[in-house]
Amino acid sequence: MRIGTGYDVHRLAEGRRLILGGVDIPFTKGLLGHSDADVLVHAICDAFLGAAALGDIGKHFPDNSRKYKNIDSLILLQQVGQLLKDGGFTIINIDSTIVAEKPKLASYIPAMITNITRTLGVEPEQVSVKATTTEGLGFEGREEGISAQAVVLIQNK
């Protein structure tokens, strides 16, 4: 058994779509980044890569590569899932948290879980996505950005 943790943060900006867990969420701002800036999926990718001792998301998908410009982060997650499979690892579970003051995310979480489970070929009971606010504190509370954290458990066959 191996445990991995992941963390990601992106700045909120005008003129960008807000994509979290592969879900396009209506909001006045979106996350700024080289890809679609999906902090949830990026945190999960980093957690898996860390658990398998394969480096981090920047090593596999550099932000200076045109190949990954505006890419759907679920494609990156699929590739990380394949790296795990190729390495002989099985996904046991994912526990993740999105930190955002706004928008309220509870109604979007089931679709996020569906996207993650379909992408990785796992069951819904293996994926937890939660959302919280910081009650106005910090950069998330000031609505300057959104962060996400993930913890994963994998097993080597």
How far apart, in Å, are the Cα atoms of 107 and each of 7, 55, 145, 149? Answer: 23, 33, 20, 19
Q: Residue ranges of the domains in the chain?
A: 2-156
What distance lies between CA 49 and its chain's CA centroid? 12
Sole residue written with tokens 């106005």: 136
**Rounded distance between C-alpha atoms, residue 51 and residue 33, angstroms:** 24
Mean pLDDT of the chain: 96
Q: Using DSSP bridges, classify how beta strands 18-20 and 23-25 pair: parallel, antiparallel or unpaired.
A: antiparallel
> CATH number of the domain at 2-156, please?
3.30.1330.50
> Per-residue pLDDT tens for 13-43?
999 999 999 999 999 999 999 899 999 999 9
pLDDT at 51: 98
pLDDT over 90 (residue 63):
no
Q: pLDDT-based confidence at 107, cuts 50/70/90?
A: very high
pTM comes to 0.96
